């Protein structure tokens, strides 16, 4: 049986994952399109920076974000002067940290999808007098649907499962920063293994469904590509 705190942690986790996914998708699509099509020398550097959270320990990322967003950090000083307040140990801080930590799970599937679109397709759209924006919305995005769906699922699922970064930048404040992963840790520390087991089972089922959905997206994408090639 889930307690009120458990339900609160679940709702907060869903709110965080949804917010991060929407923000990353909004900014990630144009940025990924630029990475996939640009010949700039900066693309290799930016691609490496985007991928860093994949190999960087979450606590390291959380530590430096804590320094940056704290009262003595460059971002913290600006937000304090603007009377916005400090972001550490707030929901906004969790969103900022999660955006950075989940960035590669949005960008990499999108870049792969955009790179798979033949130049010839865009050239045909251009000959039909479609502007670059028209071609992007009427040709690029429909052809990249499987990559976009993969990015959405991966980003949402990865944000749900975050722990190290969340703990470093958000702490453990009920209703504000206490997400499911932190709540499970809390239960284990207090030796409430029954509650920890209940939440862990929910996370296991969620993980299994996420992987199943990803497999379905990939198989459907492969089947569509096979039909089009015939």
Q: Burial of 68 by CB count in 10 Å (0-12 exposed, 13-18 middle, 19+ buried)?
A: middle
Q: What is the pLDDT of residue 15?
A: 94
Domain that includes residue 125, residue range: 4-229
CATH of the domain at 34: 1.10.3720.10
Q: What is the pLDDT of residue 83?
A: 87
Q: What is the pLDDT of residue 40?
A: 85
Weakly modelled stretches of the chain, pLDDT under 50: 229
Q: Which residues contact 33 (CB under 8 A, 6 or more apart)?
A: 110, 114, 136, 140
Q: What is the pLDDT of residue 171?
A: 86
Per-residue pLDDT of 116-169, as tens digits, reads: 888 888 888 888 777 888 888 888 998 898 899 999 999 999 999 888 899 899
Closest C-alpha among 31, 89, 33, 34 to residue 65:
89
Token reading at 153: 């699922």
Q: Read off the pTM.
A: 0.89
Q: What is the pLDDT of residue 69?
A: 92
Overall number of domains in the chain? 1
Q: What is the pLDDT of residue 222?
A: 61
């Amino acid at each position: 049986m889930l307690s009120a705190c458990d339900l609160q942690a679940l709702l907060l986790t869903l709110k965080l994952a949804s917010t991060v996914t929407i923000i990353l998708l909004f900014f990630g699509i144009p940025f990924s399109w630029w990475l996939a099509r640009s010949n700039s020398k900066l693309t290799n550097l930016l691609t490496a920076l985007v991928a860093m959270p994949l190999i960087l320990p979450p606590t390291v990322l959380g530590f430096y974000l804590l320094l940056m967003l704290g009262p003595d950090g460059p971002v913290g000083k600006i937000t304090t002067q603007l009377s916005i307040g400090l972001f550490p140990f707030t929901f906004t801080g969790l969103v900022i940290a999660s955006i950075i930590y989940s960035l590669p799970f949005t960008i990499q599937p999108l870049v792969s999808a955009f790179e798979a679109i033949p130049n010839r397709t865009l050239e045909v759209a251009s000959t039909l007098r479609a502007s670059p924006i028209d071609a992007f919305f009427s040709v690029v995005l429909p052809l990249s649907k499987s990559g976009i769906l993969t990015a959405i699922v991966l980003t949402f699922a990865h944000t749900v499962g975050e722990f190290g970064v969340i703990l470093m930048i958000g702490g453990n404040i009920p209703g504000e920063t206490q997400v499911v992963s932190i709540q499970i840790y809390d239960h284990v520390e207090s030796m409430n293994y029954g509650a920890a087991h209940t939440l862990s089972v929910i996370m296991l089922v969620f993980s299994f469904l996420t992987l199943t959905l990803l497999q379905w997206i990939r198989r459907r994408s492969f089947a569509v590509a096979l039909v089009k090639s015939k």
